[in-house]
């Protein structure tokens, strides 16, 4: 039954649109610029940053990668952010998460100029999302999820949606997008304290799983014909796998997929969309900078 939503294909479509917008901006003398700040040596963060910088180069964006040592101080990170806030060649600033424990991530986010906050986490942009002010920046992963639903032909208007997870990165902005005038869904936000979570999920026409627990959503939690967006990416040990582990989402894909009208795989679903939407936000920032 399931229609597998190909995130890689949709991301390529978004990036093709971005490429056209970049060319149009360059014609009027604006080259969108993204700065990525990496503090420390986290291997996953290094991979993410590398892929973002490569994608900028492919598309012809101006990019800066600023690497700070693992023992960098709060003041040093804030100084870099302040410099980037005043750099006219930089339209988007991203400080890779998570930083080392001595860094107050919330304070760093608040220090970024909201007009350059392409992650969409600054309080000004959170407020704009709640107010449906289109000049703000929507966090990349929820924005990507909405695009995937649209491309898959999933009707959100009038649908009952359940978002599992209430983080500021995915859960809360996802709920706001689904209940906005664009989404028009009836939204329940479920979490670790939700009573009878399985029964809540079974009501849903759309489930967005963003709880960070491997294969948490099982077939008995999903009604026939539901659309499922799996935001999770978890490593689980697997002695049969070449690397000794495999990547799985928050949804038990093999048992859930046959019940779904549409579902995202892991990997290859939501993941590719995050960088694509980051590039789209950077272009928007450049367009609004004039």
Which residues are known catalytic residues?
Answer: 52, 96, 119
Buried b (16+ CB within 10 A) or exposed e, 75-94: eebeebbeebeeeeebbbbb
Please report which residue ranges of 132-196 form alpha helices under DSSP H: 140-151, 171-179
Residue 57: phi and psi, rounded to 5, are -65, -40
Tally of helices (H runs) and strands (E runs) in the chain: 10, 10
d(CA 37, CA 84): 10
Token pair in block for residue 280: 């789209």
Residue 240 to residues 140, 234, 243, Cα–Cα distance (Å): 34, 17, 9
CA angle, corner 185, sides to 182 and 191, nearest 5? Answer: 120
> What's the rounded Cα separation, in Å, for the pair 218 and 203?
14
Distance CA 209, CA 217 (A): 8
8 vs 199: CA distance, rounded Å = 32
Helices (H), the chain: 7-27, 43-59, 74-85, 105-111, 123-131, 140-151, 171-179, 197-202, 253-256, 271-289
Chain CA centroid to CA 219, Å: 25
């Amino acid at each position: 039954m399931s229609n597998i939503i190909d995130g890689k294909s949709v991301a390529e479509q978004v990036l093709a649109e971005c490429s056209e917008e970049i060319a149009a901006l360059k014609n009027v003398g604006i080259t969108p610029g993204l700065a990525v700040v990496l503090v420390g040596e986290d291997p996953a963060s290094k991979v993410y940053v590398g892929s973002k910088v490569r994608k900028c180069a492919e598309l012809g964006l101006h990019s800066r990668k600023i690497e700070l040592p693992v023992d960098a101080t709060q003041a040093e990170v804030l100084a870099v952010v302040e410099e980037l806030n005043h750099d006219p060649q930089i339209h988007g600033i991203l400080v890779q998460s998570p930083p080392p424990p001595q860094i107050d991530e919330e304070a760093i986010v608040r220090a970024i100029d909201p007009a350059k906050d392409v992650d969409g986490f600054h309080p000004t942009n959170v407020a704009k999302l709640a107010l449906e002010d289109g000049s703000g920046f929507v966090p990349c992963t929820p924005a990507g999820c909405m695009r995937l639903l649209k491309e898959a032909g999933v009707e959100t208007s009038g649908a009952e949606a359940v978002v599992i997870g209430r983080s500021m990165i995915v859960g809360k902005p996802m709920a706001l997008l689904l209940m906005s005038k664009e989404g028009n869904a009836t939204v329940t936000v479920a979490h670790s304290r939700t009573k009878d979570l399985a029964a809540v999920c079974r009501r849903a026409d759309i489930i967005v799983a963003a709880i960070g627990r491997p294969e948490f959503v099982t077939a008995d939690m999903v009604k026939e014909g539901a659309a499922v967006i799996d935001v999770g990416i978890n490593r689980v040990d697997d002695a049969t796998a070449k690397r000794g582990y495999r990547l799985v989402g928050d949804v038990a894909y093999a048992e859930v997929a046959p019940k779904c009208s549409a579902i995202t795989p892991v990997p290859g679903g939501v993941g590719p969309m995050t960088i694509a939407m980051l590039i789209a936000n950077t272009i928007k920032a450049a367009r609004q900078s004039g």
